Amino acid sequence: MLPDDIAFDPEGTLYISDTRGMVGPGWETPGRIIRISADGDATVLAADLPSPNGITFDEDHEGLWVAQYNANRIDYFALDETRTQVTAAYPGMYVDGGKARVDSTAVDADGNVYQGFHLKPEIHVYSPNGDLLEVIALPGDAPDLDTATNIAVNPGTTDGVITVSGPDGGYLYTFDALAEGTRQSNGG
């Protein structure tokens, strides 16, 4: 197992993206989503995925947004009422990343999806319907940075933070989110 990002549901159940296959060719799909209940029972919620990376619940905790690293897309996994089974799974957003790949994912109170990138120092913000709403880019005078992997929006505010790194080191940048942050706005 190569655990990467995490999300919690309101009952304290942990959901983990297992990025197996991330180091191999992009056509391998051994990745999984693991569910660990608050009492410690672990089950595979979804398997045969192209290196799931970012994982976060939607704004109503009815499903998971999962960034598929080796597919450059963000999939939606609708869950049953107990959040123990996937009832539907499909691509939500296809990302034109070039050589970059999707990394951590977060949502805000309006359900907007914030997507970070490995090898692209910016965040893309999508509506729950898949429309690209905004690209959050670094200032023009930023150091030589090539990766924006994690996103957080402070709950109850629109104050956002991005972790960015590259040849010139690691930095934190702030941004204004499109809606208030929630407990799920942690970006993994």
**pLDDT (0 to 100) of residue 76:** 98
**pLDDT (0 to 100) of residue 186:** 75
Q: Whole-angstrom Cα distance, residue 81 to residue 92? A: 21
> Is the dihedral angle over the CA atoms 109, 45, 132, 169 positive or is it negative?
positive
Digit-coded pLDDT (tens) for 22-62: 655 666 678 999 999 989 999 999 999 999 999 999 999 99
Binning pLDDT at 50, 70 and 90, where does residue 188 land? Answer: low
**pLDDT (0 to 100) of residue 22:** 60
The answer to whether 100 touches 118, Cβ cutoff 8 Å, is yes
Rg (CA), the chain: 16
Amino acid in the structure at residue 144? D
Which domains, from first to last, does the chain contain? 3-176 (2.120.10.30)
Digit-coded pLDDT (tens) for 77-133: 999 999 999 999 999 999 988 899 999 999 999 999 999 999 999 999 999 999 999
